[in-house]
Amino acid sequence: MMRPVKKAVFPVGGMGTRFLPATKALPKEMLPIVDKPLIQYAVEEARDAGIEEFIFVTGRGKSAIEDHFDFSHELNALLVENHKLDELESIAALLPPAGAISYTRQQEPLGLGHAVWCARHLVADEPFAVMLPDELFLSDTPCLKQLMDVYDDKGGCVFGLGEVSPEQTTRYGIVDPAEDDGRLVRIKGMVEKPKPADAPSNLSIIGRYILQPGVFNYLGRQKRTVGGEIQLTDSMAELLGQEPFHGIRYEGRRFDCGSKGGFLKANIASGLERAELRDELREFLKDPDRAS
């Protein structure tokens, strides 16, 4: 039996500079896709995959995230008074049980690896998931659940994998496959943001991971590499050989909402999935110049 994965880490300490000025006072993770903030999609995905403890690594200016997952007496009272019961239900549904969320702070945004390392005491000696909330997945089976199914069979570390074009390898962690059956990939190496000529494959690590706590030993060395940041990929690469490593080509659609184009596409795709918006949006997309 594999040790179950019950904890997920949500690194939300980044500066979100690509979305300035929107992110000057608003955390990037609170940007809405239709009417729900990105972070809520990630929390719901984790919950649907069986996660029971939600660990946020926050930073300065991120208090809106804590407020979002808190009980609001004033708002509840107002919605009851105005008979807005659907709205009341929608905000009640987003609250994880009391005590299920914990927060720790990354004092400086030194990179994803550093953010994950900041959660080490809360994760303790257990396997855990890492969810990057600026990646949104629209799929029948939640992306993290797809990883969990592989983990239940193989154990060790599991990542989601996406295919990238050669010129995109400099933006992602790229894996070196040992075996590849078209969906499941056994991984023998990985490298962060390689030049196309140095990339071992076209398979990039996407923002969903299941990791073993041994990764903290390497993150603790605080080695800065690509971009002067402490990279998660480097510490995972150190763990190779000690744990099985697998990746899956997830089923579904992924949107990189950390980029403006990806964020806009995610809004359109999610809007098209809403019965109350679909027709209006389709009409607009047919002839955007004519829209009012």
Distance of CA 50 to the CA centre of its chain: 16
In terms of phi and psi (left: phi > 0; alpha: psi -120 to 50; beta: otherwise), the region of 202 is alpha
Binder of ligand UTP out of 40, 106, 231, 267 (CB under 6 A): 106
CA distance 93 to 177: 40
Dmax (CA) for the chain in angstroms is 63
Binder of ligand UTP out of 28, 68, 120, 193 (CB under 6 A): 28
Rg (CA), the chain: 20
CA distance 130 to 110: 17
- The stretch among 104-112, 156-164, 186-194, 262-270 that binds ligand UTP (CB under 6 A) is 104-112
Q: Is residue 13 near ligand UTP by the rule CB under 6 A?
A: yes
Binding mask 129-148 for ligand UTP (x = CB under 6 A): ---xxx--------------
Residue found by looking up tokens 């004519």 in the block: 290
CA distance 46 to 142: 8
Q: Is residue 17 near ligand UTP by the rule CB under 6 A?
A: yes
Q: Is residue 15 near ligand UTP by the rule CB under 6 A?
A: yes
| Least distance between ligand UTP and beta carbon 275 (Å) | 30
Size of the site for ligand UTP (CB under 6 A): 22
| Least distance between ligand UTP and beta carbon 164 (Å) | 16
Binder of ligand UTP out of 65, 115, 185, 219 (CB under 6 A): 115
Q: Is residue 239 near ligand UTP by the rule CB under 6 A?
A: no
CA distance 33 to 272: 12
Cβ–Cβ under 8 Å, residues 146 and 160: yes
CA-to-CA dists, residue 59 to 13, 27, 65, 93, 146, angstroms: 5, 10, 10, 26, 30
- The stretch among 10-18, 167-175, 187-195, 246-254 that binds ligand UTP (CB under 6 A) is 10-18
Q: Is residue 14 near ligand UTP by the rule CB under 6 A?
A: yes
Binder of ligand UTP out of 5, 112, 119, 236 (CB under 6 A): 112
| Least distance between ligand UTP and beta carbon 211 (Å) | 15
* Residues near ligand UTP (CB under 6 A): 11-18, 28-29, 57, 106, 109-112, 114-115, 132-134, 258
